[in-house]
């Protein structure tokens, strides 16, 4: 059957069936037939006149999950075969495909490489989940329902970003990431290769970029599942980089799946590793570095012509490795105070008639834009490149909201929307849920139809300061990536979040077979800490909707498949930290709920007055520090939680201590609100862990306490930006939640 024949198919034998197979992203149009579908077997012929990479993709899927590949032919009878048929030129849109499956075979029409790949990815989701492996299945029938699909993307830019600077990811994981991108019919991999965490790509002319710039010592940040904390740890040598050969292989692997790899070579800021390797490129007249062993700046000197020579050399080698039309040059978060202090930068501003440092950044970006354009490429940058005037050829990636993207589109520039509101997959699910991501629309109402054409699409970003492992990266992207993919691929009309959430959960079984982690929330627990007399019953609430099973450990380890399955409350008679987690069938844990259980003991307390003992510390933290190892700048007493004791508005920590007066036995409900992180301990047990860098959000926890005095401690830190802290409590037998201050006592000023 040719394409014209398919288009003219009598619709009579196709029914708009009530239950459609769960395909993500949802195809534009899908009709289930009434007849039998098609069964793929080792005798099925694969007819592919054009020798597409899509048929290689299909063969590799079959090999993994079914243990066979198909005999192929360039020509042959499409009856009983899987056929990949090139549609006549102009018959289909970019990326469009049509798929017909019936008892007489599977026929796919495509117009371009993308269309063929997308058709195979749809076919994959029509096949049983066992197609994902991990080992060939012998028993499954590889049946595909009778179906007719017409499908094409809404946007041409459907991107996933990965920061490999803050944490380095092996080439094998990059290919896995590309598999995920392809599975979701996305087509841009934005590879964030340069940032303050390390330079990650081999450049032959400047070997120190990798021999020096790809490695760091000491500080490594990340989410530590075993410690349940975000934190900076003294690490050994950390880093890595991609060789040119590895980059070429990855670029080809992506191209075979019709994914364009857009390299990001950050400039002029976020270039700490470059300046560690080549300090000549740093500004003049700078104060000494705040951190020993680190360069005092992370911004190129734009007043020095050497900088441009260096960048052009680097870009030459980058363009040799990456065929991408777009080269991303970053441009975000440039600390312009370096330029303000620098004699060379100031001279340059005078010579070029630039009135401020924003104009100097614009001057810099325009020169790079011109250079890239001279090589037939286009510059892309974060929305800060609008400041001081946008370079003529620039495409803007809007991240600080959508205003930058709107301004750029209105002035006739192409834009990709990637606002923090929906597209930051490093943000916790509690603040950016899958359901919320699904409400993303890259085209703002503020744009008219002509301006809206400049919106190429959207992209999700995965910054890895807090993502040290492959499993954590997968946990952060899945299933949000399904939501992002669908907002960028499928028509906007008829979106139903509930329907989508059901459909996207069909991916979990596939992800399990692929060995991928995905988000499973921490199980709900009745009590987040228990101070018990005799014994405690520790209760978790089993959510039957959850795709994972609820396991627990009693020794403070991360639950595994070997840990007991939770069926009834766990009885504890001595001090223990019980950890509950949903586990995927392959044993990957979701977020952990921990319940600290300690034998209750009340304190003998005398000569106290209402208020907190407070200690103030200075330093740059990303998690509540271990105060036992630190010396406070100042200590004192405060009647209520506040910040009077501080000297600065940023980079400080507070340790607040006292005795909590429990008026009766029972469950105490605490609510802590903080910006940034905080931890509440009562009687030595962690009741609320609200640690890590975040905005002003509340977290709550329950603890059973016997009547009497209990030690209470709040650990708090402030990084940058706004800061706040408050604690409220509901005592048993009352219905009101009140400020906790009135229940807290300590030895007054001048006393320990």
Through-space distance between the first and last CA atoms of the chain, rounded to whole angstroms = 88
Least distance from ligand ACM to the Cβ atom of residue 333, Å: 5
Closest contact distance (angstroms) between CB of 403 and ligand ACM is 14
- Residue closer to ligand ACM by CB (options 97, 382) is 382
Find the radius of gyration of the CA atoms of the chain.
Answer: 29
Q: Report the C-alpha gap between 588 and 575 in whole angstroms.
A: 27
Contact segment (CB under 5 A) with Zn ion among 39-47, 277-285, 399-407, 623-631 equals 277-285
Question: Based on the number of CB atoms within 10 Å of its own CB, is 706 exposed (0-12), middle (13-18) or buried (19 or more)?
Answer: middle
In 10 A of CB 128, how many CB atoms? Answer: 15
Cβ at position 456, least distance to ligand ACM in Å: 17
Q: Pick between residue 102 and residue 419 the one whose CB is nearest to ligand ACM.
A: 419
* Edge-to-edge strand list for the sheet holding 529-532: 549-553, 576-583, 593-599, 529-532, 697-705, 666-675, 724-730, 738-739
Should residue 303 be labelled a site residue for Zn ion when binding is judged by CB under 5 A?
yes
333 has catalytic annotation: yes
In the complex, minimum distance from the CB of residue 227 to Zn ion, in angstroms, rounded to a whole number: 42
User: Which CB sits closer to ligand ACM, 333 or 435?
Assistant: 333
Q: How many residues does the chain have?
A: 752
382 binds, among Zn ion, ligand ACM, none (CB under 5 to 8 A by kind): ligand ACM
- Report, in Å, the least distance between residue 191 CB and ligand ACM: 14
In whole angstroms, how close is the CB of 377 to ligand ACM at the nearest point? 20
Nearer to Zn ion, 164 or 334 (CB): 334
Q: Are 600 and 534 in contact (CB under 8 A)?
A: no
Residue 301's binding partner, choosing from Zn ion, ligand ACM, none, with beta-carbon cut-off 5 to 8 A by kind? Zn ion
Q: Is 429 in the site for ligand ACM (CB under 6 A)?
A: no
- Which listed residue (127, 274, 277, 283) binds Zn ion by CB under 5 A? 283
- Residue of closest CB approach to ligand ACM: 332
**For ligand ACM, the closer CB: 45 or 416:** 416
Helices (H) and strands (E) in the chain, counts: 19, 42
CA proximity to 223, closest of 508, 437, 426, 520: 426
Which residues in 202-241 contact ligand ACM (CB under 6 A)? none
Q: Please, which residue, 385 or 529, has the CB nearer to ligand ACM? A: 385
Can you tell me the distance from the alpha carbon of 67 to that of 47, in angstroms, rounded to the nearest whole number? 19
Task: Answer yes or no: are the C-beta atoms of 593 and 579 closer than 8 Å.
Answer: yes
**Residue 78 vs 398, nearer CB to ligand ACM:** 398
Q: How far is the CB of 720 from ligand ACM (least distance, A)?
A: 14
**CA atoms of 19 and 401, how far apart (whole Å):** 38
Q: Residue 253 in contact with residue 178, Cβ under 8 Å? A: yes
Beta carbon nearer to ligand ACM, 117 or 327:
327
Interactions with Zn ion, residue window 325-344 (CB under 5 A) = 342, 344
Of ligand ACM, Zn ion, none, which one does residue 303 interact with (CB within 5 to 8 Å by kind)?
Answer: Zn ion
Judge residue 606's burial from the number of C-beta atoms within 10 Å of its C-beta, 0-12 exposed, 13-18 middle, 19 or more buried.
Answer: exposed
Of 270, 328, 422, 710, the catalytic one is 270
Catalytic option among 48, 132, 148, 195 = 195
333 binds ligand ACM (CB under 6 A): yes
| Of 199 and 463, CB closest to ligand ACM | 463
Question: Quick one: what does residue 333 bind among Zn ion, ligand ACM, none, with the CB cut-off 5 to 8 Å set by partner type?
Answer: ligand ACM
Tokens at residue 655, please?
Answer: 């340790």
CB 181 within 8 A of CB 473: no
Are the C-beta atoms of 522 and 530 separated by less than 8 Å? no
Main-chain dihedrals φ then ψ at residue 188, nearest 5 degrees: -130, 130
Three-state SS for 325?
coil
Nearer to ligand ACM by Cβ, of 466 and 489: the residue is 466
Tell me how far apart the alpha carbons of residues 741 and 726 are, in angstroms, rounded to a whole number.
9
Give the one residue of 123, 301, 595, 714 binding Zn ion; rule: CB under 5 A: 301
**Residue 241 interacts with which of ligand ACM, Zn ion, none, CB < 5 to 8 Å by class:** none
Could you confirm whether 195 is annotated as catalytic?
A: yes
Question: What does the per-residue mask of binding to Zn ion show for 154-193, with x meaning CB under 5 A?
Answer: ----------------------------------------
- Binding partner of 399, given Zn ion, ligand ACM, none, CB within 5-8 angstroms per partner class: ligand ACM
Cβ nearer to ligand ACM, comparing 152 with 427: 427
Is it true that the peptide bond before 374 is cis, omega within 30 degrees of 0?
Answer: no
Tokens 């392809």 correspond to 182
Q: Is 267 in the site for Zn ion (CB under 5 A)?
A: no
Tell me the closest approach of the beta carbon of residue 218 to ligand ACM, in angstroms. Answer: 23
Bridge partners, residue 381, by sequence: 396
Residue 344 binds which one of ligand ACM, Zn ion, none, with CB within 5 to 8 A depending on kind?
Zn ion
> Rounded to the nearest whole angstrom, what is the least distance from the CB of residue 420 to ligand ACM in the complex?
7
Residue 399 binds ligand ACM, judged by CB under 6 A: yes
Q: Which of 678, 685, 686, 661 shows the shortest CA–CA distance to 746?
A: 661
Smallest distance from Zn ion to CB 338, Å:
6
How far apart CA 460 and CA 452 sit, in angstroms, is 20
**Segment near Zn ion (CB under 5 A), from 62-70, 123-131, 282-290, 627-635?**
282-290
Q: What is the DSSP string of 80-116?
A: TEEEEEEPPTTSS-TT-EEEEEETTEEEEEESSHHHH
Q: Are 207 and 167 contacting, i.e. CB atoms less than 8 angstroms apart?
A: no
427 binds ligand ACM (CB under 6 A): no
Closest distance to Zn ion from the beta carbon of 526 (Å):
59
With contacts defined by CB under 5 A, name the span among 54-62, 100-108, 300-308, 517-525 that binds Zn ion: 300-308
DSSP three-state, residue 11: helix
> CA separation (Å) from 24 to 13, 18, 28, 181, 751?
25, 17, 11, 12, 64
Q: What values do phi and psi take at 388, rounded to 5?
A: 80, 0
Compute the least distance from the CB of residue 391 to ligand ACM, in Å.
17
CA-CA distance, 645 to 660, in Å (whole number)? Answer: 22
Q: Which residue lies nearer to ligand ACM by CB, 382 or 582?
A: 382
What's the burial of 415, exposed, middle or buried (CB within 10 Å: 0-12/13-18/19+)?
Answer: buried
Q: Of residues 333, 435, 441, 700, which has the active-site annotation?
A: 333
- Based on the shown chain and the rule CB under 6 A, indicate whether residue 382 belongs to the binding site for ligand ACM: yes
Contact 558, 731 (CB under 8 A): no
Q: Going by C-beta distance under 8 Å and a sequence separation of 6 or more, which residues neighbour residue 498?
A: none
The answer to the question of residue 403 lying near ligand ACM (CB under 6 A) is no
Q: Please pick, from the candidates 104, 175, 332, 358, the single residue that binds ligand ACM as defined by CB under 6 A.
A: 332
Count interface residues toward ligand ACM (CB under 6 A).
4
Q: Is 349 in the site for Zn ion (CB under 5 A)?
A: no
CB 742 within 8 A of CB 710: no
Provide the annotated active-site residues. 195, 270, 333
> Under the rule (CB under 5 A), what is the footprint of Zn ion?
283, 301, 303, 342, 344-345
> Under the rule (CB under 6 A), what is the footprint of ligand ACM?
332-333, 382, 399
């Amino acid at each position: 059957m040719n394409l014209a024949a398919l288009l003219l198919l009598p619709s009579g034998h196709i029914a708009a069936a009530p239950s459609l197979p769960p395909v993500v992203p949802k195809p534009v149009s899908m009709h289930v037939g009434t007849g039998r579908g098609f069964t793929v077997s080792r005798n099925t012929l694969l007819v592919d006149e054009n020798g597409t990479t899509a048929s290689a993709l299909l063969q590799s899927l079959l090999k993994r999950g079914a243990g066979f590949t198909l005999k192929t032919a360039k020509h042959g009878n499409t009856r009983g075969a899987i056929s990949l048929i090139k549609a006549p030129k102009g018959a289909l849109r970019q990326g469009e495909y049509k798929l017909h499956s019936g008892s007489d075979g599977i026929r796919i029409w495509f117009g371009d490489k993308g269309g063929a790949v997308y058709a195979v990815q749809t076919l994959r989701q029509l096949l049983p989940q066992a197609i994902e492996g991990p080992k060939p299945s012998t028993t499954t029938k590889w049946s595909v329902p009778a179906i007719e699909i017409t499908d094409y993307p809404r946007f041409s830019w459907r991107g996933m970003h990965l920061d490999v600077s803050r944490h380095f990811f092996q080439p094998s994981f990059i290919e896995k990431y590309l598999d995920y991108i392809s599975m979701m019919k996305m087509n841009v991999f934005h590879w964030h290769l340069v940032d303050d965490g390390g330079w990650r790509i081999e450049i032959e002319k400047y070997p120190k970029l990798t021999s020096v710039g790809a490695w760091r010592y000491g500080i490594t940040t990340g989410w530590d599942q075993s410690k349940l904390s975000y934190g900076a740890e003294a690490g050994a040598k950390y880093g890595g980089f991609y060789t040119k050969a590895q980059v070429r292989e990855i670029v080809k692997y992506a191209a075979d799946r019709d994914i364009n790899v857009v390299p990001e070579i950050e400039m002029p800021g976020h270039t700490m590793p470059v300046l560690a390797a080549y300090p000549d490129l740093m500004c003049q007249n700078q104060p000494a570095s705040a951190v020993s062993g680190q360069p005092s700046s992370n911004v190129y000197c734009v007043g020095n012509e050497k900088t441009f020579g260096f960048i052009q050399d680097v870009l030459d080698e980058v363009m040799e490795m990456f065929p991408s039309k777009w080269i991303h040059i970053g441009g975000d978060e440039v600390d312009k105070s370096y330029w303000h202090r620098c004699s060379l930068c100031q001279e340059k501003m005078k010579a070029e008639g630039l009135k401020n440092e924003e104009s100097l950044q614009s001057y810099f970006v325009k020169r790079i834009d011109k250079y890239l354009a001279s090589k037939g490429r286009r510059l892309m940058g974060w929305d800060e490149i609008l400041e001081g005037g946008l370079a003529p050829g620039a495409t803007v990636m809007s991240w600080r909201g959508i205003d930058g993207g709107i301004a750029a589109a209105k002035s006739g520039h192409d834009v990709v929307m990637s606002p923090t509101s929906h597209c930051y997959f490093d943000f916790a699910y509690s603040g950016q849920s899958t359901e919320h991501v699904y409400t993303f629309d890259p085209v703002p109402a503020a744009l008219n139809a002509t301006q809206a054409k400049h919106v190429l699409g959207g992209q999700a970003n995965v910054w890895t300061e807090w993502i040290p492992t492959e499993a954590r990266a997968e946990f952060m992207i899945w299933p949000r990536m399904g939501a992002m993919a669908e907002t960028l691929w499928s028509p906007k009309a008829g979106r139903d979040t509930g329907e989508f959430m059901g459909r996207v959960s069909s991916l979990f079984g596939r992800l399990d077979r692929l060995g991928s982690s995905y988000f499973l929330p921490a199980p709900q627990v009745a009590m987040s800490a228990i101070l018990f007399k005799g014994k405690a019953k520790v209760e978790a609430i089993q959510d039957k909707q959850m795709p994972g099973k609820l396991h627990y450990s009693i020794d403070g380890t991360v639950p595994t498949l070997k840990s007991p399955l939770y069926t009834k409350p766990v009885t504890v008679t001595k001090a223990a930290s019980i950890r509950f987690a949903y586990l995927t069938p392959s044993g990957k844990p979701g977020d952990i709920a921990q319940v600290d259980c300690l034998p209750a003991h009340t304190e003998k307390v005398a000569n106290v007055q209402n208020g907190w003992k407070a200690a103030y510390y200075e330093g740059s933290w990303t998690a509540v520090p271990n105060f036992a190892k630190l010396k406070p700048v100042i200590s004192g007493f405060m009647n209520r939680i506040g910040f009077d004791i501080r000297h600065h508005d940023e980079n400080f920590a507070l340790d607040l201590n006292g005795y909590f007066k429990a008026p009766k036995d029972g469950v105490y409900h605490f609510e802590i609100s903080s910006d940034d992180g905080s931890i509440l301990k009562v009687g030595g047990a962690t009741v609320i862990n609200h640690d890590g860098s975040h905005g002003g959000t509340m977290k709550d926890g329950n603890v059973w306490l016997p009547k009497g005095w209990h030690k209470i401690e709040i650990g708090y830190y402030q990084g940058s930006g706004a800061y706040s802290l408050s604690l409220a409590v509901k005592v048993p037998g009352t219905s009101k939640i009140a400020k906790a201050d009135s229940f807290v006592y300590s030895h007054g000023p001048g006393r320990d």
